């Protein structure tokens, strides 16, 4: 809260009336220490409160003094232990000061209401801004995913891409994958959504068989469940594609005993 906002919030009046929280009191004291204008305003508010009490102080009736003196003139003196005389004026002052304090607090109620209402509105505004930012971020992510999907699908449905199905090598294994290869640009895209998840110590790796020799096309990142197609390394004139299970990060040469799926380029 800036010093200008502090002056307009009604918190200075609450501080002088001792009607604020410990945290608010500390905030006001820090502001007063760093800004002489705040301290001057606090002093002026205190003086205003004192003037308020004095203006509304009620003097005792003049007849009360006469009656009081006549009572002592007619009374028979009796020796009594000396005690302090009752401070009539002081009691009245305290009483009226309390009454004045109640009046001041009642006068401050609108400021109190506005201060706390403003605080609630600020909290609601901040919460709304946070929700809006989160919604905008989600919308941006969804839009980017949609754009990526459209780009990928535009590619694979074109006549330049050839679709190669890679069924499971092992009997009764339902795993499969689909490779899309562009003979002109040499691009390779793969749909690996039908491959089961692996232990964290392993990765799937795509290979192309060119002139009878395996060529590494990269590790397939299936950790991103939102991705449909993965772009792999380019390759020229493949006769077959195969996917093996390799140690994390991939291998220099394929582990032939760990071939998961494979398919010929027709």
* Structure confidence by residue, pLDDT tens digits, 72-115: 555 555 555 555 544 444 444 545 555 555 555 555 555 555 55
Residue 45 and residue 11 in one domain: yes
pLDDT of residue 83: 53
Give the C-alpha separation, 15 to 28, whole Å.
Answer: 7
Q: Is residue 148 part of a domain?
A: no
CB neighbour list of residue 196: distance below 8 Å, 6 or more residues apart: 175
Residue 106 and residue 184 in one domain: no
Q: Is residue 155 part of a domain?
A: no
Residue 172 and residue 214 in one domain: yes
Q: Is residue 79 part of a domain?
A: no
pLDDT of residue 262: 96
To 5 degrees, how large is the angle CA 173–CA 255–CA 163? 55
Model confidence over 229-240: pLDDT tens digits? Answer: 888 999 999 999
For the chain, residues with pLDDT lower than 70 are 19, 49-122, 140-159, 224-227
For 49, other C-beta atoms within 10 Å of its C-beta total 18
Q: Is residue 60 part of a domain?
A: yes
Q: Is residue 153 part of a domain?
A: no
Residue 171 and residue 126 in one domain: no
Residue 53 and residue 112 in one domain: yes
pLDDT of residue 8: 73
Q: Is residue 78 part of a domain?
A: no
Rg of the chain taking only CA atoms, in angstroms: 43
- Domain containing residue 14: 3-67+84-137
pLDDT of residue 176: 94
Residue 214 and residue 104 in one domain: no
Residue 185 and residue 248 in one domain: yes
Residue 132 and residue 13 in one domain: yes
Residue 20 and residue 105 in one domain: yes
Q: Is residue 36 part of a domain?
A: yes
Residue 23 and residue 111 in one domain: yes
- Number of domains present in the structure of the chain: 2
Residue 133 and residue 241 in one domain: no
Residue 166, phi then psi, degrees to nearest 5: -115, 95
Which pair of structure tokens corresponds to residue 179? 């490779």
Which pair of structure tokens corresponds to residue 208? 């192309």
To 5 degrees, how large is the angle CA 201–CA 205–CA 206? 170
Residue 52 and residue 129 in one domain: yes
Listing from the earlier edge strand, what are the strands of the sheet with 176-182? Answer: 161-167, 176-182, 188-191, 230-232
Give the C-alpha separation, 89 to 161, whole Å.
Answer: 104
Q: Is residue 260 part of a domain?
A: yes
DSSP state of 168: B
CB neighbour list of residue 38: distance below 8 Å, 6 or more residues apart: 3, 6, 7, 12, 28, 31, 32
Sequential DSSP letters for 197-231: P--TTEEEEEEEEETTEEEEEEEE----TT-S-EE
Residue 209, phi then psi, degrees to nearest 5: -100, 115
């Amino acid at each position: 809260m800036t010093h200008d906002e502090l002056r307009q919030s009604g918190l200075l009046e609450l501080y002088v009336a001792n009607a604020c929280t410990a945290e608010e009191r500390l905030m006001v004291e820090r502001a007063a220490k760093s800004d002489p204008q705040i301290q001057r305003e606090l002093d002026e508010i205190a003086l205003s409160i004192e003037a308020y009490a004095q203006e509304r102080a009620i003097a005792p009736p003049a007849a009360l003094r006469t009656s009081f003196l006549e009572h002592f003139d007619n009374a028979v003196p009796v020796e009594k232990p000396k005690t302090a005389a009752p401070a009539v004026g002081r009691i009245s002052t305290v009483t009226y000061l309390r009454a004045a304090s109640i009046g001041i607090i009642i006068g401050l109620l609108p400021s109190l209401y506005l201060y706390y209402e403003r605080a609630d509105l600020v909290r609601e505004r901040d919460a709304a801004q946070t929700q809006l930012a989160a919604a905008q971020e989600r919308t941006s992510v969804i839009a980017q995913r949609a754009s990526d999907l459209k780009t990928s699908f535009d590619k694979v449905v074109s006549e330049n891409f050839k679709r190669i199905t890679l069924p499971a090598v092992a009997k009764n294994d339902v795993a499969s994958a689909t490779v899309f290869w562009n003979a002109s640009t040499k691009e390779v895209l793969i749909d690996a959504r039908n491959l089961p998840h692996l232990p964290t110590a392993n990765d799937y790796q795509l290979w192309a068989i060119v002139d009878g020799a395996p060529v590494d096309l990269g590790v397939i990142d299936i950790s991103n469940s939102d991705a449909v197609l993965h772009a792999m390394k380019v390759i020229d004139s493949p006769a077959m594609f195969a996917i093996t299970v390799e140690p994390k990060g991939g291998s220099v040469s394929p582990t032939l005993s760990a071939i998961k799926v494979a398919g010929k380029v027709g």
